[in-house]
Amino acid sequence: MAELELIGAPFSNYVRALRMLCEEKGVAYKLTPVRPHTPEVTAIHPAGQIPCLRHGDVAVFESQAIATYIDKAFAGAKFIPEDAEGAAYTTQWISYGNVKVDRWIMREFVVPTAFADKVKGPDMVRINGAIPEIEKCLSTLQTAVAKGGYLAGSALTFADMNIVPMLATFGQFPQGTATLAKYPGLGAYMAKLTARPSYVNTAPPPRA
């Protein structure tokens, strides 16, 4: 069978989530660690975003679609359940992660904090404005994982792998640590997920 190639820089949470999926399933893969908008990426993704996948003649963009392909194309444990209810809850939390958690944590907090204008400094109005929306996300996620231990119920799914790198990134900032401390149930869930070899083994190298 052709080699599975994941295309995208390891600092991307979306790339990490897919690497975690491969680790959890025991699927061998080659990582091509390129940034967005590079030729390997634009050959597949019309908007130049990472991650992308190549597997023989198959070329896929969008992390949820890539995860679905990997989960279905390879044997082993399923992380996007086959049953109607499990599939619905899993894709529901993947979408919520991508639309709400990524928006408020990554786009409105992490990016304006870490890549602030060198002259003007960080846009604190924008960054502080994100915190109440992030808290809504954290509260929602804490309630969800309180039921069965994982977002989609009592079993680990790709929805958990998708969300945990985003939450952990938030926790790398002092304001993120302080905000997360208000949600101990979510903290326990994060501790459980980040202790897994699939998370530990996919840590991005320190940025140069």
> Which residues here bind ligand GSH, judged by CB under 6 A?
12-14, 36, 48-51, 62-64, 98
- What's the min distance (Å) between Cβ of 135 and ligand GSH? 22
- What's the min distance (Å) between Cβ of 13 and ligand GSH? 6
- What's the min distance (Å) between Cβ of 72 and ligand GSH? 17
- Name residues whose C-beta falls within 8 Å of residue 81's C-beta, 6 or more positions apart in sequence: 87, 90, 152, 155, 157
Nearest CB to ligand GSH, comparing residues 39 and 121? 39
Work out the number of other CB atoms within 10 angstroms of the CB of residue 36.
Answer: 16
- What's the min distance (Å) between Cβ of 147 and ligand GSH? 25
Nearest CB to ligand GSH, comparing residues 33 and 149? 33
Work out the number of other CB atoms within 10 angstroms of the CB of residue 125.
Answer: 8
**What sign has the CA pseudo-torsion 197, 94, 65, 54?**
negative
Residue 153, strand partner residues: 150
Nearest CB to ligand GSH, comparing residues 38 and 142? 38
Nearest CB to ligand GSH, comparing residues 48 and 187? 48
The helix or strand, by DSSP H or E, that contains position 6, with its residue range, turns out to be: strand 4-7
